[in-house]
Structure 1
Amino acid sequence: MTGLRWWAAFAVFAHHMSNLAPLPIQHALVYGNYGVTFFFVLSGFVLTWSARPETTTSTFWWRRFARIYPSHFVALLLAIPVFYSFAPDPADWWVKPFDIGILLLSVVLLQGWSRDPVILFSGNPAAWTLTCEAFFYALHPALYRAFVTLRVRGALIATASVFAAALAYRLAVVLLPDSGLGALPLPITRLSEFVIGIGIAHAMRMGWRVHIKPIYCYLAGGLLLAAILLAPRIASPGSPAWFFLATSNEWIILLFAATIAAVAWRDVRKRFSLLRSRPLVLLGEWSYAFYLVHATIIYAVLAIFGAQDTGWVNLLWYAAVLAVSIAAAAALHYLVERPLERRLRSWWDRRAALRLTASTS
């Protein structure tokens, strides 16, 4: 699963590189933004798979804070010089006038509750997803308790119901454009992805055997992307192709859920997988840090060298920026993410042990 995380992060990187060095296949690479969707489903899966009944809610929340916040704060400080200016009308389109109030929303991970791009993408633009994750973490203990009494069939029915609700919401947004449903905050609209991850993880913990080979999921992903790219040619209002495009987000979620389940089941059975190779595991371990820094590096390069013309020669830019981003991610992981998470968790565990000793003495 760690190796799989890398490919999701790389997909987001490829999507953002279109602003610096677009490739002739950019119409396909734009769907790399769905790497975020994959992370949301995976987050629900991993947190549920690793959940232990003896872990208190406060301990769970602290551990999530220790996991994501130190790197987020450092990456935010690194992003400010790239994405902000004290000039009232910055020359570059991605640079915003400095606003301490809006930046403070990024510090406390509240920026993702706004649909205003100036606020939503404030601070480190990639960090809007952390607002969603913080919301998911706040709800996970309650959501986990809702699933914990379910057996395999109940968990799968609940998961299918969440998927159906997400599909209905998407159709409502498309068919009722004046309803205001499309303006709901992202943490709410993306919650279904997290809950679907919870559902499939709990079903597997209860004994669900996943009879799907990962290779079939990868092939299905290629076919789904091809269908999404080709459907506009035959999509007319109200046609099946039109409805397929309108709900493509949910079909991608379903694909990701199946892929995560298939790969996890292969891990459980300890079958051979290239995803467990040392290089991919390392890249997967660095993937969170990579996600946080890659956009800052891309736009810093864009500010210096400008946007490039579309062409295959831009693969050289991909290689160079990717190498710098991986190096920066490794540094952030080893200098900030891992040591501060360890220290924060250790401090909390010592504090909890002292409180337990005091209460029993």
Structure 2
Amino acid sequence: MKEGSPSARVVELDALRGIAAVAVMAYHYTTRYAEQIGHAGGSLPSMAFGKYGVQLFFLISGFVIFMTLERTRTAMDFVVSRFSRLFPAYWAAMAITAAVVYTVGLHGQRLHMDDLLLNVTMVQDFLGAEELDGSYWTLEIELFFYAQMLLWFVLGWLGRIRWIIGGWLLLAALEGLLERAGWHFPYAMRELLILRHVPFFALGILFYRLRTRPAQWRGDVAMIALALLAVGIGQKPLMLLVAVVCCAIFAAFVRGWLRFLNLSLFAFIGGISYTLYLVHQSVGFVAIYRLEHAGVPAWAAVLASMTLAFTLATALHRLVEKPAMEWIRAEWRMRHARAQEA
């Protein structure tokens, strides 16, 4: 693979996705588990920084979705692409998680049946239901971002994306200011427009433009500065630091300074990053709890649970995610081709 080629850069992006997934898992197994349940097998170092892997995910999504839509022919092509990528693996991960939770799981993990069924939609939080796995909350945000981007695509407004981002940033800053003053945006508007997260998606889009439209860099750099300003105005100071670090990572990526990530290990982790994210938290918490209460030290229980998560993620990727995605997309292409011939 030639260095600096688009395909090489995508491998680097997948590697970043994998690193972010591992960081989130490390946070959940150490810090989050300690907060919610408490390690019985001894204390572990806090890896609280790992939770900000989610914000890196959002930048990656902004980059990838804008890139995908620029190469998409029709709205249904995009819908089929996203559905095949997300839902089969999600439903399979849900089935595994539910099987574990309702047999050997912890009492607090078991949902009412109504909530469990609503989890099938991936927007259960918006519908007022609890999540089967604590990691699922970000999937709803991703879906709402996809819906917004699909709307701009259908309207033919992707060429005006800077204006759209400007509107996003204004609303995000306003929502944060009102929240501090004790006022609240209507819940549905805030959630559907993902106002608390949209600056991170916007940053991903802007870095894609920096990569593909270098002659227009001044305007995009100015918009990046505005996105950081919106985060600083609308969110806690720590989130501004997170945004700056994410921007530094993406600046290095766009400049080609992350080529060292083009290794088979990172490619593997990137390939299973989605299924790893889906299946690690609730199942991992059960494994850690059972092992620690059987006398296993906390560090060993965490390592064993990570191994289990990687094993399940690899199986889901190879047996469900990849074949389902390929089959659904192939069927859609065949159906589309037949419709054109008719």
Q: TM-score, normalised by structure 1?
A: 0.73
Aligned partner of residue 326 in structure 1, secondary structure: helix
Match of 1:17 among 7, 12, 29: 29
Per-residue displacement from partner, 1:254-309 (whole Å, max 9, x unpaired)? Answer: 4313422421331xxxx662211111111111111110111133122144235799
Aligned partner (choices 290, 293, 317) of residue 304 of structure 1: 290
Contact 2:292 2:298 in 1 (8 A): no
Deviation per CA, 1:40-90, whole angstroms, max 9, x where unpaired?
Answer: 1211111212433552111101110000110000000111134447xxxx9
Please state whether the residue corresponding to 2:108 is helix, strand or coil.
Answer: coil
Task: Please state how far the C-alpha of 1:202 moved relative to its aligned partner.
Answer: 2.6
**CA–CA distance in structure 2, aligned partners of residues 147 and 50 of structure 1:** 15
User: CA-to-partner distance for each residue in 1:78-107, whole Å, 9 max, x for gaps?
Assistant: 11134447xxxx99453234x222122110
User: Is residue 286–residue 329 contact of structure 1 (8 Å, CA) maintained in 2?
Assistant: yes
Structure 1 pair 32–138 and aligned structure 2 pair: CA distance change class (3 A): same
Aligned partner of 2:211: which letter? M
Report if the CA contact (8 A) 1:70-1:337 is conserved: yes
Q: What amino acid maps onto 2:172 in structure 1?
A: A
Quote the Cα distance in structure 1 between the aligned partners of 2:71 and 2:316.
32
Residue of structure 2 in register with 1:239 after alignment: none
Aligned counterpart, 2:110 = 96
- Out of 247, 262, 268, the position equivalent to 2:237 is 247
Please give the root-mean-square deviation of Cα atoms over the aligned residues, in Å: 3.3
In the alignment, is residue 315 of structure 1 matched against residue 299 of structure 2?
yes
Residue in 2 that maps onto 1:3: 15
Q: In structure 1, list runs of 5 or more residues that go unmatched.
A: 212-241
| Aligned twin of 1:108 | 121
Q: Which residue of 1 aligns with 2:99?
A: 81
Is the 1:3–1:284 Cα contact (8 Å) retained in structure 2? yes
Alignment of 1:214-233 (within 5 A): none
What's 1:204 paired with? 211
1:3 maps to amino acid:
A
1-structure distance, mates of 2:294, 2:261:
33
Match in the other structure for 2:145: 136
Contact 1:11 1:35 in 2 (8 A): yes
Q: Which amino acid letter does the alignment assign opposite residue 125 of structure 1?
A: G
Number of positions where the alignment pairs a residue of Structure 1 with one of Structure 2? 304
5+ long unaligned stretches in structure 2: 1-12, 219-231
State, as a whole percentage, how many aligned pairs show the same letter.
23
Query: Equivalent residue for 2:4?
Result: none
Matching residue of 1:149? 159
The answer as to whether partners of 2:28 and 2:281 remain within 8 angstroms in 1 is: yes
Give, as a single letter, the amino acid of the residue that structure 2 aligns with 1:11. Answer: A
Contact 1:75 1:293 in 2 (8 A): yes
- Asked if the contact 2:106/2:286 (under 8 Å) is kept, the reply is no
